[in-house]
Amino acid sequence: MTAYPSAVRLRRAAVIGALCAGIAVTGAGCGEKKDPDKGTNGVGKQTPEKIESQAKAAAGTANSVHLSGTLVTGGKTYTLDMRLKADGGSGEVKSQADTFQLLRIGEQLYLKASAAFWGKSDSAGKLGDKYVKVPESDPTYKQFRGFTDMHVLLDGLLGLQGKLTKGGYTTVGHTRAVPLAADAGKGGKLTVSLEGTPYPLLMERAGGAGRVELSEWGKAFPLEPPAQDQTVDYGSQLPTTKDGAGTGTGTGTGAASPAPSKGSGTGGSSGGSGSGGTGGGSSGQGSNPTGG
């Protein structure tokens, strides 16, 4: 009578052992601690400083990137959706006043905005919703070029200020990642990929100055001039306002420059009719719209 229960117990033990073996193969194990770094690029094992350094290095050698999110500068919020690479970029930048389509191929910058953006110029109606070829000598070029410059934007974005700490693993989209925080988050947050190359995936700027996702690293995309019937070329100078007060960009609308000088941390001053200039200070060809 005792042999039967013993056989049952043996069979149960065998089944439990088989289950544990099967679970262990999938990585869970029976009583076995899971390795959080299994299947990752190993960057999460590094110090926060090393992780930040590797993320910056990866960004610096990348061929292209897609940036999307918000930047706050000079008290104004700009929403951007830009695809960038070494020789140019394309996409959209929105302010409260207007939406700008930007395209740069090499050094040729194209800008599309509403007729209102071009102020009171006689040609404003012709410029609205057309790609305007912006001459390099025009202040508008200096203000907007930074939004199309991959390395200028990345240099301004990827900066943490303060003592770094490393958080628990998380995900950005479907990608596993490790978050870093500077000064408990007050100095910004950076989330770095744990899969493949340790690219930055999410940047939350210090002081609530914006939140930008970085994706499609290294993904090729075309840069082609707009159709001829969608392009307006005014040569070396953009049209002036009716009273001759500088270029039409901002002088008739009070629009502020969305690309402040690097290191200034503030936006260009609002233009007014008859004020001259473009509604924003010149910021240099490599102007950084992050203000960094």
State mean pLDDT over 93-116: 93
- What average pLDDT does this structure show over 194-199? 98
Let me know: does 123 contact 129? Beta carbons within 8 Å: no
Beta bridge partners of residue 190, listed in sequence order: 180, 203
- Position 13 scores a pLDDT of 56
pLDDT of residue 220: 95
- Bigger pLDDT: 24 or 243? 24
Q: How many CB atoms lie within 10 A of CB 17?
A: 11
Label residue 201 by pLDDT band (50, 70, 90).
very high
Determine the pLDDT at residue 88: 97
Beta strands in 153-234 (DSSP E): 164-166, 170-172, 175-182, 189-193, 200-204, 210-215, 231-233
Residue pLDDT, tens place only, 146-165: 999 999 999 989 989 999 99
Given a cut of 80, is residue 262 above it in pLDDT? no
Buried (b) or exposed (e) across 52-86, using 16+ Cβ within 10 A? bebbbebbeebebbbbbbebbbbebebebebbbbe
Q: How confident is the model at residue 42 (pLDDT cuts 50, 70, 90)?
A: very high
pTM: 0.76
Quick check: 21 pLDDT over 60?
no
**What's the mean pLDDT when you consider all of the chain?**
79
Q: What is the pLDDT of residue 245?
A: 39
pLDDT of 265 over the 80 cut? no
Residue type, 163: K
Helix axis angle, 48-61 to 150-157, nearest 10°:
170
Q: What angle do CA 178, 183, 187 make, to 5 degrees?
A: 85
SS3 call for 49: helix
What are the distances in angstroms from CA 73 to CA 95, 142, 256?
Answer: 11, 17, 11
For 66-77, write each residue's pLDDT tens digit: 999 999 988 889
CB within 8 Å of 177: residues ≥ 6 apart: 169, 170, 171, 191, 192, 193, 194, 201, 202
Residue 128's pLDDT band, with cuts at 50, 70 and 90, is confident
Beta bridge partners of residue 172, listed in sequence order: 175
For residue 287, what pLDDT is reported? Answer: 65
Q: Specify the higher pLDDT residue, 284 or 100.
A: 100
Q: Encoding tokens for residue 267?
A: 């936006």
Q: List the single range of 97-111, 129-143, 166-180, 214-228 with lowest mean pLDDT.
A: 129-143
- Counting residues of the chain whose pLDDT is more than 90, the rounded percentage is 55
The residue that leads in pLDDT, 126 or 198, is 198
pLDDT band at 30 (very low <50, low <70, confident <90, very high): low
